[in-house]
Amino acid sequence: MHILKILFKNAFRHKLRTGLTILSITIAILAFGLLRTVIGAWYAGVEASSAYRLVTRNAVSIIFSLPLSYKEKIRQVDGVATVSYGNWFGGIYIDEKNFFANFAVDAKTYFDLYKEYAINDAEKAAFLRDRKSFVAGRKLASRFGWKIGDTVVLKGTIFPGNWEFVMRGIYRGKEPNTDETVFVFHWDYLNETLKKNASTRADQVGFYMIGIKDPSQAVRVTHDIDGLFRNSFAETLTETEKAFTLGFVAMSDTIITAIRLVSFVVIIIILAVVANTVAMSVRERTNEYAVFKTLGFGGWRIAGLIFGESLVITLMGCAFGVAATFPAAAAFGKAMGAYFPVFSVEMETVWLDAAFSLIVGLLAAIVPTYRSLRISIADGLRMVE
Amino acid sequence: MRIPFSYSLRNLWTRRLTTILTASGMALVVFVFTTILMLAQGLQQTLVETGSYDNVIVIRKGSGSEVQSWIDRAQSSIVETDPLVATGTDGKPLVSKELIVLIGLPKKDTDRISNVTIRGIKESSLSLRPQVKLIRGRMPRMGSTEIAVGTSIAKRFKGADLGGELRFGMRLWRIVGIFDAGNTGFSSEIWGDVEQLMPAFRRPVFSSMIFRISDPSQFDALKKRIETDPRLTQEVKRETRYYLEQSEMMAKFLRILGISLTLIFSMGAIIGAMITMYAAVANRTSEIGTLRALGFERKSILVSFLIEALLLGLCGGVTGLFFASFMQLVTVSTVNFQTFSELAFRFSLTPDITVKALFFAIVMGFVGGVLPAIRAAHMNIVEALRTK
């Protein structure tokens, strides 16, 4: 107990300096925690994907479509339970800044396949009845203040024109990591409009979403589906939903790698600051340590004092930082909800915070300890600041 | 009377370990700051240099990029006959009707599929883009299933080198040439005959049209004429402007990311500088008392300590910049969200970024040093002299 008391007393001999050091560690831990949470949010879609779903798209690339006629053929494949389909609509609401994902989907099957999107039966029935209607996620609806019955106009980028929709329902996520920012409307509405205006583009879907009976059969089912359409005009590529989502995330992997590297840089910056503080404290106490040595305290005790002090400082900063990470992440998640549908701090981040504080505390004390142990008693006593 | 500059300099030198630690913290912040700005700059430069000022691009209104754009044969013929379309040395109009599609190809190192731009070209495409130079092989013959690939594609993608064959659109395409377009987006493209690629991808329409304008000062008149033509649904942009818009979102994203990150990090480094400067003041209390007793004013003390802090910042800034400048040797590639396709580019260091980084470092030094310097300047002479 005594040793802990002396460590705290030593650490807070310079209140201002120690306070500033702790503050800088707090900031660094906070920044590190937030950066890791941002990366985690990037992968949220991958985490939320279901093993019971496959996605089939055109093998050439995602911008090419598949004929609607594939639907019945896919349904006949052994192991397939439901087949739904959709198009990325890419509509803009008022301004490009208001980005959110909007899909034209097969209304009848969509909510059966995406069971984690909870919608009450009355709203679902209203949605199915009205071809010009749409359903939005809870977060998206509250972002723009949409209420049931409101009319929303999207400007098409892929499908030109202004498209009018009426809101008929709001879905909620059943899991904490379910994306609640999606906008879905009737694929039939899109298709009928295309038949009138651009008939060559009608009866084409962007991707099929396939529900399977048994996830362990996924590989065989993907092979069977792709085999059906080999050497046709539109060859397909079927993947599990996880692989499909991961493909999108992987596109930005350069940026993710950069953020990851940078989150380690902040740890090194903080190492420099803490090492500086410890070096200064130890230098000022050269006399004291010489007295300790004269009294017969061994080198390992002095080393223990220095390491202990360094650890007291870093671990206090770490505790404050971790405590601040949770409210900060909540505030950040609220402000950036449009870009990161799911934003929560993982337990792993907290463990990493603690590990890095420990490492920084130990590394920072190495050089000062080495110096104070090497100096002879006479030199230590003689040294004047 | 001013305290000599060398006083500040020597103080830093005496406390080497502390100076190095503090400056290296700042150097890291400056390094991150500079590299992210360099990344955004490199991306933008690559896309801006892709366009040329005299070239005009015609895309569908509201499509935003060539990938989502279309222009049918009848419409393209209307645009082609505009009097402002320049004529080449062979007497033919300098017009190219092009097709842009994306295909997925596996990368060499990771085997992961990434989107690549395929551009269907005409004979005049090359003369419209003087920055594109053939470095190996030859250009694809019109009317054949031959393609030429950009240097970044040849380097990064599997089987995309000279003599290789790529399979897409139910055909095999032989690579007969490799072209270099320097630091532009074309280096990340595959080129082939548009009249072969259109049926292969079953596209009945072109994506975009590019032509040279014979009198650049008449651009506004041309724009008005085409955009108000009731037969056309296209809009007209200068090529430079078009490519600038393509890079805007991504560059902005990188800049905001970089600046907000470095602001947070700089707080850590500023606190480091503050600790160092407070210690410098505390250790030199009697020295400051002596200086004041000798007749140096409070102002001179303040300035002297500030200079010390600024020097600390400058040290960090120069070190950070030095290491960041090596990043220019690195080429990175990422997917541009606006066009959805792979683009390779370099970190690019401009004088502007250098000045910004140094300024940033000095500001960090200043913010860290101002409070300690004020404390030093406000010391009481007698009390300061009395402390041991």
Q: Do A279 and B18 touch (CB under 8 A)?
A: yes
Question: Are the CB atoms for A253 and B252 separated by under 8 Å?
Answer: no
Q: Do A272 and B22 touch (CB under 8 A)?
A: yes
Question: Are the CB atoms for A83 and A225 separated by under 8 Å?
Answer: no
Contact of B118 with chain A, judged by CB distance below 8 Å, is answered with: no
Q: pLDDT category, A322, cuts 50, 70, 90?
A: very high
Please give the pLDDT value at position B313: 93
CB within 8 A of A49, min separation 6: which ones? Answer: A240, A241, A242, A244, A245
Residues of chain A found within 8 Å of residue B104, distances taken between Cβ atoms: 59-61
- Alpha carbon distances (Å) from A239 to A113, A181, B98, B127: 16, 24, 32, 42
Q: How far apart are CA B175 and CA B164, in angstroms?
A: 6
Quote the tokens at residue B169: 């659109």
Q: pLDDT category, B140, cuts 50, 70, 90?
A: very high
Extract the runs of DSSP E, i.e. beta strands, from B218-295: 234-238
Q: Angle B286-B287-B293 (CA atoms, 0-180°, nearest 5)?
A: 90
Tens digits of residue pLDDT in B319-370? 999 999 998 888 877 777 667 777 788 888 999 999 999 999 999 999 999 9
Question: Are the CB atoms for B313 and B361 separated by under 8 Å?
Answer: yes
Q: One-letter amino acid identity for B70?
A: W
- Alpha carbon distances (Å) from B361 to A24, B242, B263: 18, 35, 12
Shortest distance between the Cα of A51 and any Cα of chain B, in A, equals: 21
Please give the pLDDT value at position A47: 81
Q: One-letter amino acid identity for B91?
A: G
Q: Which of residues 133 through 162 in chain B touch A, CB cutoff 8 A?
A: none
Contact of B371 with chain A, judged by CB distance below 8 Å, is answered with: no
B308 or A341, which is more confident: B308
Domain boundaries, chain B: 5-48+246-386, 62-232
Please give the pLDDT value at position A383: 72
Q: Please check the confidence at residue B159 and state whether its pLDDT lies above 90.
A: no
Nearest to B277 by CA among B164, B371, B159: B371
Contact of B331 with chain A, judged by CB distance below 8 Å, is answered with: no
Q: For B272, which of A62, A255, A272 is closest by C-beta distance?
A: A272
Quote the tokens at residue B199: 């049926």
Contact of A17 with chain B, judged by CB distance below 8 Å, is answered with: yes
Question: Are the CB atoms for A148 and A123 separated by under 8 Å?
Answer: yes
Q: Do B261 and A273 touch (CB under 8 A)?
A: no
Domain boundaries, chain A: 2-44+253-382, 60-234
Tens digits of residue pLDDT in B200-219? 888 888 999 999 999 888 99
Q: How far apart are CA A171 and CA A180, in angstroms?
A: 7
CA gyration radius, chain A: 30
| Full-model pTM | 0.78
Please give the pLDDT value at position A337: 67
Asked if this assembly's ipTM is beyond 0.90, the reply is: no
Please give the pLDDT value at position B285: 87
3-class DSSP state for residue A250?
A: helix
3-class DSSP state for residue B120?
A: strand
Buried b (16+ CB within 10 A) or exposed e, B352-377: ebbeebbebbbebbbbbbbebbebbb
Closest residue in A to B167 (Cα–Cα): A60
3-class DSSP state for residue B100?
A: strand
Contact of B166 with chain A, judged by CB distance below 8 Å, is answered with: no
Q: How far apart are CA A345 and CA A348, in angstroms?
A: 8
- Alpha carbon distances (Å) from B41 to A168, A172, B238: 45, 41, 21
Tens digits of residue pLDDT in A22-41? 999 999 999 899 888 888 88
- Which residues are registered as beta bridge partners of B343? B334
Quote the tokens at residue A254: 């350069």
3-class DSSP state for residue B110?
A: coil
Q: Which helix (H) or strand (E) holds A126?
A: helix A121-129
C-beta contacts of B76-80 below 8 A and 24+ residues apart: B76/B206, B76/B209, B78/B229, B78/B231, B78/B232, B79/B209, B79/B211, B79/B226, B79/B232, B79/B234, B80/B209, B80/B211
Residues of chain A found within 8 Å of residue B256, distances taken between Cβ atoms: none
Which of B117, B234, B265, B283 best probes binding to A when mutated, by most A CB atoms within 10 angstroms?
B265
Q: pLDDT category, B21, cuts 50, 70, 90?
A: confident
Q: Is B187 exposed, middle or buried (0-12, 13-18, 19+ CB in 10 A)?
A: buried
